[in-house]
Structure 1
Amino acid sequence: MLSGAVVVILTLLITAILLVYLFREHIEQHFDALLFDHIEELVAATSFTPDGSFKLNWSPQDPRFQLPNSGWYWEIRQAEKTLSSSRSLQGEQLNVSKLQGGGVLTVLRKKRLLLSELMAESLLEIQHFSGPDNKLLHAQLLVITFPQANQEILYIATGPISEVDYDVSRFAKQVIISFWVLGSGLILAIVFQVRIALKPLKAMSNAIGDVQQGKKERLPENYPDEIQVVVSEINSLLDHRTETLLRARKDLGNLAHTIKNPLAVIINEADCIKNESGQLIHNKAELIAANLDHYLARARAAGTANLLGSRTNIVKVVDDLRYSMDQLYKDKQIKISIQNLGNNYFCGEAQDLEEMLGNLIDNACKWTHDQVWIHATRDKHNQRIHLFVEDNGPGIPDSQLAIVLQRGRRLDDTVSGHGLELNIVNDITQLYSGSLTLKKSSYGGLCAILDLPVSSN
């Protein structure tokens, strides 16, 4: 839009300058023609007595030649002597420079003078000089040699250049006003046209934003034909990706069911073997099941991370997890406190958020003495949220915080688990361009911080 306005302004400016230039050329040509008319009249009024004396039969009737210091003058000279002049000169002579001989009468103007006696060396010249009143004058000078005269006769007709400048100035003002109105109208037309033309694109952009935030599953199908083709292709891609994702989830579920059932049988049978071999089989089978859960969760998260339309209510997930933990750790009578979660939505799948927060809250409940705190801070500028899960348990030494994020690493073998929970959380957060940070809690235990993409309601 801005570039269009600049082009319009530059085009109108160049056109205005060209028009003013052409108008000045026209006015100057008209001015020259008018002065030549007066010279033609003076030549026509010239006659000679039988003894060769100059005689002017009449004077030009233009009233401007009668007004003193009007700038409109005429003068006839012979050998630097004034033979006749206009009343406006008041007996003074015009300050004519020496003729350079640069201008020659055209055939047309010779015919207009109706003087077949004109010599070939007759000259017409244009000069600019100051008049008696110090006005800058535009003058035409015609040198003619008559057969009846002994010497050349110089005809001079002048007019003030200020009149040309005045006419051009008036025309320029009118052009500026006209082009200003025209330019304003064109720019307004461009603005309205661009706004109207971009309105469907802006609506489509907003609709895509709603799809990204999970407010809509598809783009509306009510756009102009020029844009509808693109919208239909986008919707087709969304439908295809959703269908592909659902098929992949189904296949993962079938794979998990196919493998987990035989594993469960192996674990149960291993429990019946009351020796070291049975215990070894039991432990390895459980490790296989844990690794299977880990990689299935990672594969599911990899397929849904940054998926358009994925949007999960954080408060709802946390409330559900608190209820589950209250039931799971009923004997410990743990108080789970939820604060400042706000009306925020995680830009991802509910299962992934449940996997991440579930592992963190479960880990906090295992180690806490009696209370777990869950709260959040929102970075509105970058559309991120920091979810905090804290406990008042023994915590983890700073030197070992990085170790517990490694797969299969455990600091205490007396607590149930396979050392995969925090590693799973870390893997999933990275798939969402997030991070998991561990540090000492102000309550004395461990503080786990999830950095995740978020959108408001």
Structure 2
Amino acid sequence: MRKGSIAASLFWLTAGFLVLAMMTTGYLLSDLYSRALDTSLSETLDFHVESLAGALLDTRDPQDPGIALADPRFERPRSGWYWIIRDDAGRLVNLSTSVVGIDLQGVSASADALGRSTEVVDDPFGTRLRVVERSVTLESGRYAITVAGNLTEILELVEDFRGQAFIVLGAVGVMLTIMSAIVARIAMRPISRLSTAIEQVREGDAAEVSGTYPTEIAPLAEEVNELLRSNAQIIERARNQVGNLAHGLKTPIAVLRNEAVAQKDGLADVVTSETEKMSSLVSTYLERARLAARTSVVGKKADASMILQRLTRVMGKIYPGIDIAFDTPDATLPWFRGDEADLEEVAGNLLDNACKWSRGAVEVRLGSERGAKGTQLVLAIEDNGPGLSEEDATKVLRRGVRLDEKTPGTGLGLDIVKELVDVYGGSLELKRSALGGLLVEVRLPTAPGRAGAASPGLTHFRRNTSQEASDR
């Protein structure tokens, strides 16, 4: 359970509550056990007092040797169990054998409704005693019967019980904590399944969130599906609006341009210039809207290897004099996370430019690498043409810029590529090729392909040009 997760929060909350509950339970049980033992001791002492009082009333002689208790602890010195009988003057008239050598004082506390007094004292040996005292009146006078019991034994039993109770409760707490961790993990499984289902939609493996979920999170799955449907509808409406806007603007602009061309004056030149700017701006922003709408669709992915194989075959037929070499990637290569048409447009424009400017050789490589943005698809296309300087490499990415007006084209290819790459959050780099011409490297987001996860580093390739050669 990772820090910050719901399962971890439930686990630590349950563990903290269990620790508090077990400690409180341990002290409460110890206190109840102590009270029970103390009550039992008091009842035992009351019984002994009543026994001595009965014997005294029966014999009528407080010094009679027959006055005794059957409990052998009263016969053992320093046992903590004592009894004595005093007269009104406080003189000792009878005692148990255990009292020998001990000056056991009477109880100073006041008597209760039954005529008994009780208090806790210490004997000379450090033993804590609970003392109970009662008065008995005979013809010869009034006598005080005092019985003491060992309270230290009770306290020791309570301490032993407390230690054992905490051990048992601790073991129970550990078992309950483990059980709470298991319960939390089991309870969070539907959320993990929902997360996996949403990830499958994002990676393009599913069109919507599927599966059966508990009542608490089933509405979330339904809302995600509804959001996906709503997003698709919004994008479709946006596409329609973009098409309508294109048709609505291009025709008036074309009319204005044609009318201005027919006129040969200063105003016509101004109108021609401005309509060209308007047409360029309309094309630019309509293209951006079109790209944004296409790449906003969740759940699409494409096999980049198959697309590159198809494009290299097509370009081989269009440029039969160019040797196009494509390194077939390993089967574990991840797919492109996006629309197949977008990847075809990116790779097609770059491959077409490479063939136009090359002097007979073009190399295409496809791989993956792990970086700060995760695993990315890497497309590298290089040629042995004249290449570009750093200044020209920066300039050529501007919309409509062409360094050589003699070569057929509109100058929008690289700009469209850059727009698409930016929309997908990728990168486009122009470098000097080892072949002597231009090296174009494109990095795009990935999605798992048929073989599973992406390779950890740059994919290694095997050379395969026989298919392209046979196609040409």
Instruction: Tell me the SS of whatever aligns to 1:407.
Output: coil
TM-score by length of 2: 0.75
User: Which of 164, 183, 186 is the equivalent residue of 1:173?
Assistant: 164
User: Which of 207, 217, 223 is the equivalent residue of 1:217?
Assistant: 207
Instruction: Name the counterpart of 1:39.
Output: 49
**Superposition pairs for residues 135-150 of structure 1, below 5 Å?**
136-140=127-131, 142=133
2:433 pairs with 1:444? no
Say if 1:306 and 1:432, in contact at 8 Å, map to a contact too. Answer: no
Shift of 1:76: 4.1
Can you list the C-alpha shifts for 1:306-337, whole angstroms capped at 9, x where unaligned? Answer: 53212122112222322332233234x23232
Shift of 1:20: 1.6
Instruction: Tell me the SS of whatever aligns to 2:396.
Output: helix
Say if 1:355 and 1:425, in contact at 8 Å, map to a contact too. Answer: yes
Q: Distance in 1 between matches of 2:147 and 2:380?
A: 101
2:402 pairs with 1:410? yes
Deviates more, 1:230-239 or 1:280-289: 280-289
Say if 2:82 and 2:98, in contact at 8 Å, map to a contact too. Answer: yes
Q: Compared with structure 1, are the counterparts of its residues 55 and 212 closer, same or farther at alpha carbon in structure 2 (3 Å cutoff)?
A: same
Q: Which runs of 5+ in 1 are unaligned?
A: 114-122, 272-279
Q: Distance in 2 between matches of 1:269 and 1:249?
A: 31
Can you list the C-alpha shifts for 1:76-104, whole angstroms capped at 9, x where unaligned? Answer: 45778654332344x2215x5897x4x32
Instruction: Name the counterpart of 2:112.
Output: 106
User: Which of 354, 363, 370 is the equivalent residue of 1:364?
Assistant: 354
Letter in 2 for 1:447: L
Shift of 1:262: 9.6
2:343 pairs with 1:337? no
Instruction: Tell me the SS of whatever aligns to 1:405.
Output: coil
Q: Distance in 1 between matches of 2:302 and 2:242?
A: 22
Q: Compared with structure 1, are the counterparts of its residues 432 and 98 closer, same or farther at alpha carbon in structure 2 (3 Å cutoff)?
A: farther
Letter in 2 for 1:454: T
Instruction: Name the counterpart of 1:7.
Output: 17
Q: Alpha carbon RMSD of aligned pairs, Å?
A: 4.3
**Superposition pairs for residues 88-99 of structure 1, below 5 Å?**
88-89=98-99, 91-94=100-103
Shift of 1:231: 2.1
User: Which of 402, 424, 435 is the equivalent residue of 2:416?
Assistant: 424
Q: Distance in 1 between matches of 2:211 and 2:302?
A: 25
Can you list the C-alpha shifts for 1:114-169, whole angstroms capped at 9, x where unaligned? Answer: xxxxxxxxx532113453xx6x3323153859697889857241215134422552
Instruction: Tell me the SS of whatever aligns to 2:368.
Output: strand
Say if 2:242 and 2:286, in contact at 8 Å, map to a contact too. Answer: yes
Shift of 1:175: 6.8
Q: Distance in 2 between matches of 1:299 and 1:193?
A: 49
The number of equivalent residue pairs is 431
Q: Compared with structure 1, are the counterparts of its residues 350 and 97 closer, same or farther at alpha carbon in structure 2 (3 Å cutoff)?
A: farther
TM-score by length of 1: 0.77
Shift of 1:355: 2.4
Deviates more, 1:412-421 or 1:344-353: 412-421
Say if 1:53 and 1:149, in contact at 8 Å, map to a contact too. Answer: no
Q: Distance in 2 between matches of 1:436 and 1:130?
A: 96
Letter in 2 for 1:30: S
Instruction: Name the counterpart of 1:200.
Output: 190
Q: Distance in 2 between matches of 1:392 and 1:293?
A: 33
Instruction: Name the counterpart of 1:274.
Output: none
User: Which of 429, 448, 452 is the equivalent residue of 1:456?
Assistant: 448
Letter in 2 for 1:124: T
Shift of 1:213: 0.4
Instruction: Name the counterpart of 1:387.
Output: 379
Letter in 2 for 1:351: A
Q: Distance in 1 between matches of 2:81 and 2:208?
A: 82
